Amino acid sequence: MKNVLEAPFLVEFAKTAANMYRLGWDERNGGNISYLLKEEEVKEFLDVNHVIRKLPLAGVNSAAFDISPLIGKYFLVTGTGKYFKNVLDDPETNLGIIRIAKDKTIDLLWGYKDGGRTTSEFPAHMMSHIARLKVDPNNRVVMHCHPTNLLAMTYVHELDEAKFSHTLWEMSTECIVVFPEGVGVLPWMLCGTDEIGIATAEKMASFRIVLWSLHGVYAAGKNLDETFGLIETVEKAATIYNIIGQRKVVNTISEDAMKQLVDLFKIRDVVRWDFFRNK
């Protein structure tokens, strides 16, 4: 059996968490990541029949959503109360490899060596995974973090999906190409509840990134790089918006220019035309 600490998925996961902390997206224990793993890649490093201990799916109301699509699935998940800055140096304490059991509990196969468990946001992650897998069966990552400028933008910009998305598209040429569907927007909601998990999953049916106003974001993607890059791009746009502040804008990316980008990158089928001001 290979050393799980050398597993490519674990190494990349730890490096991603470190980068998210370095960028200020995940202060203290703010933020969480879940990565849907393939059974065959887990079996290279772990005996999947050896369950260290059983964990509860804390916070899940069994009536709130159907977890059956994820039963038997494997995940690499950040632990509750864990600091992203510590993941790279001590992944076995701060991360866990788990499997969703038939009785709606969690089989811990590796990690959380200090007696910990999955992030309290894991139910919301599960809901988003289920939603994204219906859209794209290759979606394997869900990230939650608190990007500084995007969070700041939710305090000063109208919380209308079309207007918010359009503003972000105007901030950088690559924006409409990277997230042509725009961004989903939720009002402030109590975190760690079924309600915010359900609302986020509903948005995930149409968007890969959902803003939790005055809190942070949820993002999904096919792999860690893609998901990280999606957040990075949206955060860069929000940074430019905040730098501009109240100064008069004399140049911007016009909708005609956006349409040229849509045609150049062949994304007509995914761009949200209803988010254009002059359709």
The closest alpha carbon to 169, from 161, 160, 159, 179, belongs to: 179
The residue among 157, 220, 152, 211 whose CA lies nearest residue 183 is: 211
Name the burial class of residue 98, with classes exposed (0-12), middle (13-18) and buried (19+) by CB atoms within 10 angstroms of its CB. buried
CA 278 from chain centre, in angstroms, equals: 31
> Could you tell me which of 29, 5, 47 has the C-alpha nearest to residue 116?
29
- Please state, in angstroms and rounded to a whole number, the distance separating the CA atoms of residues 191 and 212: 9
- Alpha carbon distance 133, 141 (integer Å): 10
Catalytic residue among 44, 92, 121, 181: 121
> Known catalytic residue: 27?
no
Sorted by sequence, the CB contacts under 8 Å of residue 68 that are 6+ apart come out as none
- Catalytic residue numbers read 121
